[in-house]
Structure 1
Amino acid sequence: MSNATGTGQTLTLSGIEAGYGESMVLRSVQLKVEPGQVVCLMGRNGVGKTTLMKTIMGLIKPRSGKVVYGDADITTAPPDRRAKRGISYVPQGRDIFQQLTVEENIRLGLEAASAEKRKAGIPPHVYEMFPVLKEMLHRKGGDLSGGQQQQLSIARAIVSDPELLLLDEPMEGIQPSIVMDIENAIASIKAAGRTSVLLIEQSLAFATSIADYYYVIDKGTVVAEGKGAELSEEQMRKHLAV
């Protein structure tokens, strides 16, 4: 991956109210992800972090507020349109196709890419990040361990070289050796500078090591934000302690 920096577009959320049916989960959320940044979204379970990711991806329509990407208002754009604009989403829980091979799963990520990228096929840096996937190209996704399936899910999301990558707790429930691989992959995405990352993460140590900026959500509202270096244990204990 190249070391180009500052490419991509800014994601801006303003006054987002969203939820499920009559139940409102997000209230007046303001959030910004600048090109090339890694932004961490933190908070206890059930406070609205995943709902926010789904709203950015277009899987949930906000009741009010705006989602702007670059100079385009994408508040009502469907998920496939957002994917074609360069936004990729890795949901919680390793959402892969069990019956397809590893290679077929990764190739599905190229659907949102340009014709040129589809023709070029899977770029080598995907296998550099996750060498185990190259060894298992012809195995079915369902035959992989949970950690390997998570690597596959991320590989499928990055194969099209997205401008913005949404990662919902990618390290949750993963064995420690693979956690390290995924942390290294996120670090190399950041170092390449072509892809911004919005990451839901519970590990304070990793968040402070990787984040340029952070937002803490509680009860559907942003209660704290700042530069990654300013993340304090005291603040986190207050908002993350169960």
Structure 2
Amino acid sequence: MSLDLAYNNADFIPDGASYPDRWIEEARAWREREAAVGRARLNVAYGTGERQKLDLYLPPGKPEGLVVFIHGGYWMRFHRDVWSHFSEGLTAHGWAVAMPSYTLAPEARISEITRETARAVETAAALVRGPIRLTGHSAGGHLVARLACGGGELAQEVRDRIVRVVPISPVSDLRPLCDLTMNGTLQLDADEAEAESPVLHLAPDVPVTVWVGAEERPAFLDQARWLAGAWGVEHRIDAGRHHFDVIDGLREPDSPLVTAILA
């Protein structure tokens, strides 16, 4: 099996091509509803770039703290507007949820995206007091894991507030990606792939749960297992879930995924 095929998700998910359009419509409805009742702060700049903005979704009362969700798309696709509704299960528990966009490849290298998302977390942290929990899906799972394992990307006062990290279906070892066709866009070289691979960094000193769907491609099952093994952390395999619906639990206040993030 070619590596390109191994990392292809949509073609192996029933009606996989329909998911982005569905997400966009559901996200728009949620965003408009939350903005109408004053629980959405949209287009908060964390830098000067066009995509260096975040949306902040607030609970009805004083926030318990902050969850930052970083979206996936192989660092090449999507926008925060696609995922707004996935804040629903967390705000229901009283947590504020920040969702940043970031500059996409090839305009930014993955190492630059890591630094951008660090600035997004710091900006959101200045808006919401209390503990911080990081989660993200796919490439976003990579980014939250990368931020959690250190290297100077996050200001220490923000790092000290992080209490839990839940990478969902993360790409934790970037070295295999160097041989993929998509690397024509990502422009990874061996040094950057090594430096940006969470599996090659020390584990963070906060609780981590690596989450992955049981029906995901073997490559993503491997990536999740590699990270959990390298860090010696909890590894949860979500029965019946594939790479696209593995995040559905974020919409459900009582889901196992929301419970894991807020544990």
Q: TM-score under structure 1 normalisation? A: 0.31
More helix by share: 2
Higher relative contact order, structure no. (Cα contacts within 8 Å, ≥ 6 residues apart): 1
